[in-house]
Amino acid sequence: MAGMEKHYFGRGNTAAGLYTLYDSILGGLDTVFVINGQTGPGTSRILGELADAWKNTDWTKHYIHEPLDHERLEGIILEEARIGIIDGNAWSPDPVLEGTEIRIIDAAQTLRKELQEEAEALAAAREPEIAALYAKAYDSFSNTLRIHDDWEKIYIDHLDREKANSIAADFALNYLRPISAKKADITRRFLGAATWRGAVDYVPNLTESVRTRIFVKGRPGSGKSTMFKKIAKEAEIRGINTEIYHCGFDPASLDMLVFPELSLAIFDSTAPHEHFPSREGDSILDMYELAIEKGTDEAYAEQIPVVSSRYKYSMKNSISILAEVKKFRDEVWDAYGAAIDSKSLRRVADQIIHQVEILTNTSATL
């Protein structure tokens, strides 16, 4: 039977700029293959070949998606094998992980030299435009966050902090029961991202295997992220392994905690990643009902629609800029794609597969 699949993001186009969590995601692995070289869509295609080759294996596969275009991969982790494969352009030009063997794979060998120069010339010409658009997008996301802060303030000013703190304490008391005395393993990821198409999240996939799912509802500023931070800290104190998922818009905020040992997940289930209970073991925790002063929505009935509209307009503008980025990048990637030699690309994938076979004493076929 094929192993479980997990989908998430390692980076995000955020209000804090391009933000990465790869050092946490790749930490603790025995071996990381870093695919280097400017090849446009080449690395994504190599990762796609690897995903197909390992599709029916028993390993738990982590598929790490690209934040601009979630339909492309920029990394794979084979959990039980403790092996990662990562696009060097997405992670670091000088990768260093304590206790991890780094194996560099040259993807530039997949390019036909006669077309490579044309692609590189186009990339050099488009690079300033793409960089300027990214900077513009990040400025727009930052402005959007300031608007969101205005929205949050309405509810923060009417938050019962004592009640909010007691909710976090009650959760820890009722759910965070340590299995054994040990140091907690903490991993940080993004459950979603602001892509050129808009917000994309993998909450259903990341929580499908847990028995207990708590859907946290509430308004902006109703204490959800603060509660998650308190719970995460308490879990760490108790030695409970925790997957911490940061907000793909504001990485300083948290959107979800998963505790694999407890088969438990608690997550912000409001827009843009709004989900609803659908099975046994699901429940709702409504922070607005529990911790916000009654009648707040009614008291600010005129202001709330205005700030909400400003926020949505600004977010839509931010996403439209990312769509412009993709348009220019696709032009460059099409040039690189034309330069890729498919047989050479297959050989690079085979090379990685062969090395993984040796490391794990297994076999896979393309």
250 has a pLDDT exceeding 80: yes
32 φ/ψ angles, rounded to the nearest 5 degrees: -125, 125
- Greater confidence, 94 or 323? 323
DSSP β-ladder status, 31-36 and 83-87: parallel
Give the lowest-confidence range in 133-137, 304-308, 362-366. Answer: 362-366
| Residue 364 pLDDT level (bands cut at 50, 70, 90) | low
| Residue 366 pLDDT level (bands cut at 50, 70, 90) | very low
First-residue to last-residue Cα distance in the chain: 18
User: How many whole angstroms from its chain centre is CA 330?
Assistant: 22
Q: Residue 365 corresponds to which tokens in the numbers above?
A: 């076929």
Q: What is the pLDDT of residues 265-314, one digit of tens each?
A: 999 999 999 999 999 999 999 999 999 999 999 999 999 999 999 999 99
Segment 234-240 mean pLDDT: 96
| The pLDDT of residue 1 | 56
4 has a pLDDT exceeding 60: yes
Q: What is the pLDDT of residues 22-65, one digit of tens each?
A: 999 999 999 999 999 999 999 999 999 999 999 999 999 999 99
**Residue 96, phi-psi category: left (phi > 0), alpha (psi -120 to 50), beta (remainder):** beta
| The pLDDT of residue 178 | 79
Cα R_g (the chain), whole angstroms:
22
Find all residues with CB under 8 Å of 214, minimum gap 6, and list them.
264, 265, 266, 267, 282, 283, 284, 285
101 has a pLDDT exceeding 60: yes
| Residue 146 pLDDT level (bands cut at 50, 70, 90) | very high
| HEC readout, 280-344 | CCEEEEEHHHHHECCCHHHHCCCHHHHHHHHHHHHHHHHHHHHHHHHHHHHHHHHHHHHHECHHH
Q: Are 222 and 160 in contact (CB under 8 A)?
A: no
Q: What is the pLDDT of residues 191-226, one digit of tens each?
A: 999 999 999 999 999 999 999 999 999 999 999 999
